[in-house]
Amino acid sequence: MNKSLLTQSLLKLTSGVVLVGLLLFLPAGSFAYWQGWLLMGILFVPMFVAGAVMLVKSPKLLRKRLNAKEKESEQKAVVALSGLLFIISFTTAGLNWRYGWWMLPDWTVWTAAALFILSYILYAEVLRENEYLSRTIEVQEGQKVIDTGLYGIVRHPMYMATVILFLSMPLVLGSPISFCIMLGYIPVIARRIRNEEAVLTSGLDGYKDYKARVKYKVIPFVW
């Protein structure tokens, strides 16, 4: 086992846990915010399991995802906007719980948690189907167009999974106010997709024909 990769993975996971915990529980003013613990559990436990599997079966993919950094200014802006949305949404959720502005019923929270886990499974399937999947927008050496499985339904199943993931998170936190904030992720990801498709169309053989065959980008019959 690659010890340096293991250490890097654990450090990144730990920093994520600490950051999300601070964003949720500091505004909440209490560790009794159970919806916050629920989100952290369904977010980081599957992340740990997925990382462990990649460490054993596909360390190259894990290293690529850990070290990925956007090169294009367009995508750097998208990443920054996404991060800002997370900070505002999570902080608002903590404040919402603290002051009881507008909390969702428990059944909504648990339904959103189930949807979140389902989208995680969808994300894992996308990783399995596409060995060229990267956190950055690029055309890799030897890359081919993937048009089977989920890629035969929509052109960007990874973004389909992440849209569901991100929109379900504020509902798990019980905060409809945070949900409204997180809706801003849709135009942000639409901006990323436009840039990604321009890069793939110009640099990946067969992608233009693939776009003609698979009409929908993210949601079948909708988008």
Looking at residue 111, its amino acid is T
Residue 143 belongs to a domain with what CATH number?
A: 1.20.120.1630
Q: Domain span at residue 49? A: 3-213
pLDDT exceeds cutoff 80 at 160: yes
* C-alpha pair distances (Å), 143 with each of 66, 157, 191: 20, 17, 23
Rounded distance between C-alpha atoms, residue 181 and residue 80, angstroms: 15
Is the per-residue pLDDT at 57 higher than 60?
Answer: yes
Residue 220 lies in a domain: no
Position 96 pLDDT exceeds 90 = yes
Give the pLDDT mean for 131-138: 54
The total of structural domains in the chain comes to 1
Does 223 reside within a domain? no
Q: What is the pLDDT of residue 184?
A: 94
Confirm whether pTM is higher than 0.75: yes
Mean pLDDT of 73-90: 85
Q: Does residue 222 fall inside a structural domain?
A: no
Q: Span 132-156, mean pLDDT? A: 70
